[in-house]
Amino acid sequence: MAALEAVIHVEGPKGKRTIPIAEFHKLPGDTPNIENALEPGELITFVDLPKPIEGSKSVYLKLRDRASYEFALSSAAVVAKVEGGHIRYVRVAMGGVGTKPWRSHEAEAALMGKPADAATFRKAAEAALAGAKPRTDNAFKVELAKRCLVRTLKLATA
């Protein structure tokens, strides 16, 4: 939904409002107890997905230790449109890399207008993970997330 730029509709004691997906999940900061933007008493009533971009393709890939009933070690969601071998539209989001669905504007910038090839995908993956701060036990995720994103980009632009 982060890659599709969904809009969350909520209703509560103070009435109705909309929250863009990018603002829905919160980073822990000093208030790790607050995970999302819902106010007390608010309920999600529905979710709007914008009309797909004509000619675009979307792919979601989830990598995990076992084949089912398991959270992602790394996942990637990509919406892309390719024209004349070049990327004309792209949205990139990743999972399993942070405390919220991680929209990567860095990867998008590295992809826009570039040829849809392996070298571009790898550069985008490097850009997406450039700011990653791994710990001892999850250091492998940096490389795994890159491979996950490269594969997803390959599938979405094929």
Partner 1 sequence: MATDTLPHAANIIGAAVPRIDGPFKTTGTARYAVDHDFPNLVHAFAVQSTIGKGRIRTLDVSAAEQMPGVLLVLRHGNIQNVFRTFPRQQDGSMAESRPPFEDENIYYWGQYIAVVVAETLEQAKAAASAVHADYEVEPPDVRTDLSVDFDGKRESSWKRGDPDQALASAPVVIDQTYSTPVETHNPMEMHGTVAVWDADNVTLYDSSQGVVSFRTVMSEVLGVPRENVRIISRFVGSGFGGKLSPWPQATLAAAAARQLNRPVKLSVDRRMMFSNVGHRPRTQQRIRLGATPDGKLTAIRHDFYTETSQLDDFVEHCGEQTPFIYSCPNLEVTTAMVHRNVGAPAPMRGPGAVPGLFALESAIDELAIKLKMDPLELRYKNDAERDEGKNLPFSSRHLKECYQVGAEKIGWKQRTPEVGSMRRNGKVVGMGVGAASWSAARIPCTASVELCPDGRVCVRCATQDIGTGTYTLFAQVAHAKTGVPLDRIDVFLGDSSLPDGPTSGGSMVTSAILPAATAAVNQAVTRLLNIAAQTPGSPFHGAPPDSLTIADGRVIAKDQQPQVVGVALHAGADLTANGLPFEEVLKLANLSGISATGRTFPSFEDPKAQKYSLHSFGAHFAEVEWEPEIAHLRVSRIFSIFDCGRIINKKAGANQILGAAVMGVGMSLFEETHYDKHFGQPINGNFADYLVATCADLPDLDVTFLDYPDLIVNEYGARGIGEIGMAGVAPAITSAVYHATGVRVRELPVRIEDLLQSKVLEV
Q: Which of 10, 72, 73, 111 binds partner 1 (CB under 8 A)?
A: 73
Binding status of residue 135 toward partner 1 by CB under 8 A: no
Residue 66 binds to partner 1 (criterion: CB under 8 A): yes
147 lies in the binding site for partner 1 (CB under 8 A) = yes
Tell me if 143 contacts partner 1 by CB under 8 A. yes
Q: Which helix (H) or strand (E) holds 123?
A: helix 118-129
> Could you write out the DSSP letters of every residue in 12-70?
ETTEEEEEEHHHHB---TT-TT--BSPPTT-EEEEEE-PPPPTT-EEEEEEE-SSSSS-
Which residue from 2, 107, 110, 144 is in contact with partner 1, where contact means CB under 8 A? 144
Map residue 121 onto helix, strand or coil: helix
Q: Indicate whether 150 belongs to the interface with partner 1 (CB under 8 A).
A: yes
The position carrying tokens 């791994």 is 134
Q: Is 5 helix (H, G, I), strand (E, B) or coil?
A: coil
Q: Which of 40, 46, 54, 69 binds partner 1 (CB under 8 A)?
A: 69
Contact footprint for partner 1 (CB under 8 A): 61, 63, 65-70, 73, 139-140, 143-144, 147-148, 150-151
